[in-house]
Chain A
Amino acid sequence: MREITLARQLGEVALAIAIAPLFTGWIAQCRAWMQNRSAPPLLQPYRMLRKLFQKDVALATEASPLFRATPYVLFGTMVLAAAIIPSLATDLPFAQAADAIALIGLFATARVFQSLAAMDIGTAFGTMGARREMMVGFLAEPALLMVMFNAFLLYGSTALPSLVDGYAAHPALIDPSVIFAAIAFLMVLLAENARIPIDNPATHLELTMIHEAMLLEYSARHLALMEWASSLKLFNYACVGFALFFPWGIATHGVDGTGTLLLAIVALLGKLAVAGAVLALIESISAKLRLFRAPEYLAIAFLLAVLGLLVHLLLGANTHA
């Protein structure tokens, strides 16, 4: 039994690592369709990674060990996050090691390491990107935490698997606060993953870039790991969103068997396909904000999340705990 759960845990992580670039590719494809361009092949991110892994690293002479370690740390944190988030099943042995707050801490660890690495070479762009990333981060993180608090008030747990189990036990529990939380979460997802209202993943324009500015000095396998980590991050955020707001199909505690697991995989793929299309739609119809509008955007996300909490408490909904 223990071996099975462990195997399932490892399988889930392996699946996350494998299909994260596919999700990024799918968003790019949807975006191209909506913008009436011919789309790159769906497997383009994998080809990109293969190319990068084959190249030699061109490392700046000033680079310190911190700079070289960061791609691995970033990849490690994102893989660990994938192990915590119940994307297929809630019976995850690893999820006991970290709850939703620790997950946010994990994302923060990745952000801090990435920013520090960007400052390491000492070019103007790197530091600027680090500063902007930290700015977006420190505004987005509280909003995300408030979304998690809202989930805690509903289901009485900060452990993500328990949230999904709680939803399965009371599927009719629809709270108005969830809608606020969901909108706030979507806004945070876009901001944290360098998506359009805040950052544009497809640009290298000096004055606007955030995420790309931090990657400027990276090349070859280091860059490949960073890119892989950022697609894993997007995948993880999507899975957190599914677990919090659309936990249909995730194999809950005690419901085992190959059938449910296969169903969970199909459900996950379906949800990812829809989520990718929605993200592409949002990116296609919205324009990038000026950098100093970003705090306003994130403040709205934060306020929505807090409003969700207040709505929940005001309505005095049946707190589960």
Chain B
Amino acid sequence: MPMPPFTFHAALLFPAHFLPLLLDIVAGWIILGLLGLFRPRSLRLTAHLLFPLGAAACLGVAILSGVFLATGHAPELMVLPLGLPNLPFHLRLDALSAFFLLLLGVSGAGISIFAAGYFRSGEGTAPALLCLQYHVFLASMAVVVLANDAYLFMVAWETMALTSYFLVTSQHRIPEIRRAGFLYLLMAHLGALCILLCFGVMQGGSWQFTFDAMRQASLTPFWATIAFLLALLGFGAKAGLVPMHAWLPEAHPAAPSPVSAMMSGIMLEIAIYGLVRISFDLLHVQYWQWGVIVLIVGLFSALFGAIFAAVQTDMKRLLAYSSIENVGIIATAIGLAILFEASHLPLFAALALCAALIHALNHSLFKSLLFLATGCVLHATRQRSLGKLGGLIRRMPWVAALALIGTLAIAGLPPLNGFVSEWLLLQSFLFTPRIPHAFLNMLIPLGAAALALIVALAAYVMVKFYGIIFLGQHREASLVHAHDANWLERLGLGWLALGCILIGVFPQLAIRAADSVTGPMLGATVDSQSSLWRIAPIAPEQASYSGSIFLLGILAVIGISFLAVRILAHGRIRRTPAWDCGYPWQTPRMQDTAEGFGQPIRHMFGAILHLELQLPSPTDDPPRYRVHIEDRFWRTLYEPVARAVRRTADAIAVLQSGRLSIYLLYSFLTILVLLVFVL
């Protein structure tokens, strides 16, 4: 397979060291954020200068990390004399970091340029402050990926959590948003605590907190498993894996749309990065049981997310649940990769990990695109409820067309990108009979079946999402005044849509990027048989797929049939009112609603949902119909835990008498106890 010509030029054009340049860009983001503080109320400064510059910086990150991956550089190390004394910041750029930086750069560029056109004055936080938080958020995510010691990792991780908390609560005057923000902060800190403990376990008694030391540390099976489970809990809480997902459907809808896009499109993937880094790189996957745990958690999250997405009536909540579903799919792929790796099948492990990485990249693209599109809809209509939208394709043709690409991509339809990663994942499921473990062999076809159901359910969800928002008739009269996105917003949406198409049509690009990750980490790559036209991960006679020929074929048939119809028949059209089935009093309110579209799912999966249904009786005046769907985890997990915490706090509060003398007594007793220990 000859290298494409551009890589040679790139090698000449770009410097030998990428890490310093990337750090310059990270510093640049922070400076950009600080610059805004000179004119805190000026929307023009942030919108016309700072956000576009931030987008350019994102593009720079994407190009640098893309070239790093394409040229196959060796990992770069750096030590920054910052931080605490004797505890400097260690940084490392390797293929895995570069892949996630590529993801961050590509999606970040689209989101930033969109954000330039999105923020309006008088909406919550002052524009300059938003700009600062936004760019520090970006910078912290980049540093998380580059960190090579636990200390820097945790600093960046916490910065990421705090900045995103402030971004989520940018409209802090609304009590629900404050509540959602608090829940998010709480879950983020629980997760961070788990990660901290995980690092504590992994240093293995050496008290060296650099990742290099952790790679060398030899842990007993018990402690390695504890570390792995802590990592799964911690990163799972950030990624939104069930049952640590509760914050996600609250926080994502509360945030402004570019922030939702950043959190869903980039931050969740950064959590995935953490899981991959720790399980594959630092702990060197050791036991197949880990894979089974991740696989089951992933499949359950995906199914849970898809079912809940199908019954939502708020467009951003729907997308948030869809994020849970997609993160679940990524986790499924990672679980499969761990299983293969622990069974010493590196080639299939590489295939599954490749599916996970590409799905992360894809999710980042299409989920950002859709969240941004909901932002446009929100600005144009002031409505978030699906029941009050409809017919926007005629008022917002640009947003509708670009959102259609995202919708088809996330529904996993060829020839767009969502299909590529799902295809790779299904392919890797097909090789599970090679695992030398009879019980797993039986279990895994069921996993594949569940995955197939999830993928198909995702298409259902997305038809609901797109159809109710953009198609049909306006459900509210005010929608007539909806306006299309401005040109900066269109540019951002278009960039992300282009990414969806490009990876779908030329999946080789993404596979090669993922290969440069799996090569050093697992010692196997999947791209050996692919050509410019098609991908054939394991062997061409087993399976091959070509997005480009696929697209060309469909376009050719459509074009030929269109021309044939025009030439052989005619192109006459008469515009008439829609057929009313003999009943002339049709109103837009008679269209199917979001609740109606979710009804078959409620009917089928009633056992998983907690459903409260209030149907009107024939004598009601006026009739009331109410349906309320609740997450079962609230009642079975969160509320008991919250009650237990409160009870414990109450019990401890007995000590808190409020009298100074008692407190002095406590101090005295403490010193006494300590003296007993020391002496």
Contact = CB atoms under 8 A, between A and B. Distances in A.
Interface of A: 53-54, 56-62, 64, 66, 72-73, 75-77, 79-80, 83, 94, 96-99, 101-102, 105-106, 108-109, 111-112, 115-116, 119-125, 127-128, 130-132, 134-135, 137-139, 141-142, 145-146, 149, 152-153, 156-159, 162, 206, 216-217, 221, 225, 292, 295, 302, 305-306, 309-310, 313-314, 319, 321
B545 A115 contact: no
Given A116-B467, A313-B433, A97 B546 contact: yes
Contact of B449 (A72, A97, A119, A306): A306
A157 B542 contact: yes
A130 B467 contact: yes
A171 B546 CA distance: 30
B249 interface: no
A94 B581 CA distance: 44
A158 B544 CA distance: 8
Contacts of A75: 557-558, 561
Given A138-B459, A146-B452, A131 B596 contact: yes
Interface residues of B, number: 82
A228 to B, nearest CB: 9
A127 B592 contact: yes
B558 A72 contact: yes
A177 B180 CA distance: 51
| Interface hub of A73, A109, A221, A302 (most chain B Cβ within 10 A) | A109
B423 A105 contact: yes
Interface in B546-602: 546, 549-550, 553-555, 557-558, 561-562, 565, 568-570, 572-581, 586, 588, 590-592, 596-597, 599-600
B553 A56 contact: no
Contact of A59 (B442, B455, B576): B576
Contacts of A125: 581
A79 B556 CA distance: 11
A120 B550 contact: no
Interface in B603-660: 603-604
A61 B456 contact: no
B9 to A, nearest CB: 30
Contact of B414 (A62, A102, A158, A319): A102
Contacts of A76: 554-555, 557-558, 561
Interface in B469-497: 471-473
A141 B578 contact: no
Contact of B390 (A53, A59, A122, A159): A122
Contacts of A123: 578-581, 586, 590-591
B471 A302 contact: no
B178 interface: no
B594 to A, nearest CB: 11
B466 interface: yes
Interface string B433-469: 1000000011001101100110111011011101110
Contact of B561 (A66, A72, A96, A146): A72
A74 to B, nearest CB: 10
B541 A138 contact: no
A294 B550 CA distance: 32
B588 A79 contact: no
A72 B555 CA distance: 10
Given A59-B575, A97-B553, 5 more contacts: A56-B573, A109-B413, A119-B592, A127-B596, A131-B596
B554 A62 contact: no
Contacts of A111: 459
A99 B561 contact: no
Contacts of A116: 463, 466-467, 471
A12 to B, nearest CB: 14
A256 B404 CA distance: 44
A164 to B, nearest CB: 12
A77 B408 CA distance: 14
A119 B542 contact: no
B545 A102 contact: yes
| Interface hub of A58, A130, A134, A162 (most chain B Cβ within 10 A) | A134
B433 A108 contact: no
A99 to B, nearest CB: 5
6 contacts: A60-B578, A112-B462, A123-B586, A135-B600, A145-B426, A313-B442
Contacts of B462: 112
Contacts of B592: 119, 124, 127-128, 130-131
B557 A221 contact: no
Contacts of A145: 426, 448-449, 452
A150 to B, nearest CB: 9
Nearest to B589: A124
| Interface hub of B540, B543, B580 (most chain A Cβ within 10 A) | B543
The 5 closest A-B pairs by CB, nearest first: A122-B472, A127-B592, A142-B452, A122-B473, A119-B467
Interface of B: 390-391, 393-394, 400, 404, 408, 411-414, 419, 423, 426-427, 429-430, 433, 441-442, 445-446, 448-449, 452-453, 455-457, 459-460, 462-464, 466-468, 471-473, 534, 540-546, 549-550, 553-555, 557-558, 561-562, 565, 568-570, 572-581, 586, 588, 590-592, 596-597, 599-600, 603-604
Given A99-B543, A306-B446, A62 B463 contact: no
A314 B413 contact: no
A24 B534 CA distance: 35
Contacts of A142: 449, 452-453, 455-456
A267 B182 CA distance: 68
Contacts of A66: 393, 404, 471
A106 B408 CA distance: 12
Contacts of B568: 53
Given A135-B460, A306-B449, A292 B603 contact: yes
Contact of B471 (A122, A152, A156, A216): A122
Contacts of B578: 60-62, 121-123, 217
A200 to B, nearest CB: 18
B57 to A, nearest CB: 37
A97 B541 contact: no
Contacts of B545: 97-99, 101-102
A216 B581 CA distance: 9
A198 to B, nearest CB: 13
A157 B431 CA distance: 10
A106 B600 CA distance: 24
Given A102-B414, A122-B391, A127 B467 contact: yes
B558 A159 contact: no
Contact of B463 (A134, A152, A321): A134
B561 A221 contact: no
A158 B537 CA distance: 12
A105 B550 CA distance: 11
Contacts of B534: 96-97
B511 to A, nearest CB: 16
B467 A80 contact: no
A145 B451 CA distance: 10
A85 to B, nearest CB: 13
Given A109-B413, A128-B592, A80 B463 contact: no
Given A57-B572, A115-B467, A319-B433, A162 B456 contact: no
Contacts of B562: 72
Contact of A149 (B445, B472, B555, B596): B445
B199 to A, nearest CB: 40
B20 to A, nearest CB: 44
B576 A310 contact: no
A210 B197 CA distance: 55
B492 to A, nearest CB: 22
Given A73-B558, A156-B542, A158-B543, A101 B427 contact: yes
Contacts of A162: 541-542
